Amino acid sequence: MLQKIYPRSKDKETVYLKSVITNPNIIVGDYTMYNDFVKEPKDFEKNNVLYQYPINQDKLIIGKFCSIACGAKFIFNSANHTLSSLSTYPFPIFFEKWGLDVKDITKAWDNKGDIVVGNDVWIGYEAVILAGVTIGDGAIIGARAVVTKDVPPYTIVGGVPAKQIRKRFNEETIDTLLKLKWWDWSKERISKNIAAIQSGNLGYLL
């Protein structure tokens, strides 16, 4: 894919994320876009990816053709305070004050893993995705939802904490779409099939 920042020439509020990311621990697929009408969308990794400290090496992985709305946040492990301690106070972070070994700083929080977002996922306005969550292909995250658990493919979730509202399609259609992986097609093949994709009729693609 030829990397340009703005999908539309007169729209500076929407960017292709892959073109503005510099952090090697944020991996974004082709055509995934982010819109921000409040802040500079090119500052996504500073404003929207929170507590992703290098010491943890946790990753944000986002697939192709995702649509991320204004203010969506991805909150990583370092935002957590460990629950295995008798206190939630993060003593290891203040190692100098308490004479602790700096190498143990990650004991201040519980490490739940990476955030993985599949392909063709729509994340709504000001939704929050927490560390350790995997969102399946084709899923939809409702506005201001707080996602604390994995979301299956082609599932709509919403609320705080986010709960399943419904599946987008029947299981047979979902299985076929997951095998089809249209997002991995060439640009030329996708272009020829846009009308079929938008029709909602899987039969036109087969």
Residues constituting the chain: 206
Token pair belonging to 152:
């299956």
What does the angle CA 16 – CA 18 – CA 23 come to, to the nearest 5 degrees?
Answer: 135
Residues 6+ apart with CB under 8 A from 191: none
Query: Letter for the amino acid at 68?
Result: I
Residue 38 a catalytic site member: no
The structure tokens listed for 175 are 């299985």
Distance of alpha carbon 112 from alpha carbon 98, whole angstroms = 26
Name the active-site residue from 39, 59, 73, 81.
Answer: 81
* Count of C-beta atoms within a 10 Å radius of residue 11: 11
Alpha helices in the chain (DSSP H): 44-47, 95-98, 171-180, 187-199
Strand order across the 128-130 sheet: 49-50, 73-75, 128-130, 146-147
User: Would you name the residues annotated as active-site residues?
Assistant: 81
